[in-house]
Amino acid sequence: YIRMPEIWGVRLTGHLPPWTSAKDVILEMLRRHGVHGGLNRIIEYYGPGLATLTAMDRHVIANMGAELGATTTVFPADDQVRDFLRSEQREGDFVELLADPHASYDVTEEIDLSAIEPLIALPSSPGNVVPVSEVAGRPVAQVVIGSSANPGLRDFAIVAAITKGRQSHPGLSFDINPSSRQILQDLTKMGATFDLISAGARLHQSGCMGCIGMGQA
């Protein structure tokens, strides 16, 4: 038999400050609870802060729910999801799925998105989370952009804008792992693929290379 998981409600308020992203939200969860905090739990995010998170932002958070040990992670299907499906010419597939008005949770928590700061998980565990400010200035050996854990066009576009006209350090492994063929096509249309390769990046095939630590010769 399967034991019924607890339902863990995480209420989001506020909005993310500049230079933070959805990845910092799930890293904050890992900072608080570690890699076993979600065992035998289903995480449901809700609250007014949801309106500020795109469908792709939610993908990032849900994807790394596995790092918390969670059974699964769910978000409501709301206007943000409808907007995403519309952009993909699939609005007809939208079905509104929301929590019951008086839904209750076994465990509750709140995250003020406005208080989130840039975070990073240090080796050798996703739960070893510290503020980026604590490691600023340390040498960097490898940079991986993309995979299923960082799938949005925004991630690639930001890096392309930062590195445009510059060259990465010769000792740095700089890897670009588009999450889908569509993302790669969009990056190419924008000229970002050229900018990234010119900056010294290696372009990998679309897939889940980076998040599972799979390299390429």
Which residue segments constitute the domains of the chain, with CATH numbers given?
6-119 (3.40.1060.10), 139-212 (3.30.499.10)
Cα Rg for the chain, rounded, in angstroms? 18
Q: What pLDDT does residue 133 have?
A: 96
- By C-alpha distance, which of 40, 42, 46 is closest to 100? 46
| pLDDT surpasses 70 at 56 | yes
Q: What is the average pLDDT value for the chain, to the nearest integer?
A: 92
| Element containing residue 93 per DSSP (H, E) | none
Instruction: With cut-offs at 50, 70 and 90, classify the pLDDT of residue 216.
Output: low
Q: Which amino acid is at 5?
A: P
| pLDDT surpasses 90 at 23 | yes
Q: How far apart are CA 131 and CA 53, in angstroms?
A: 21
Angle, vertex CA 130, rays to CA 127 and CA 136, nearest 5: 140
| pLDDT surpasses 70 at 120 | yes
Q: What pLDDT does residue 3 have?
A: 87
- Dump pLDDT digits (tens) for 167-215: 999 999 999 988 888 999 999 999 999 999 999 999 988 877 766 666 6
Residue whose entry in the numeric block shows the structure tokens 């969009």: 186
Stretch 37-44: mean pLDDT, rounded? Answer: 97
The answer to whether the CB of 201 falls within 8 A of the CB of 176 is yes
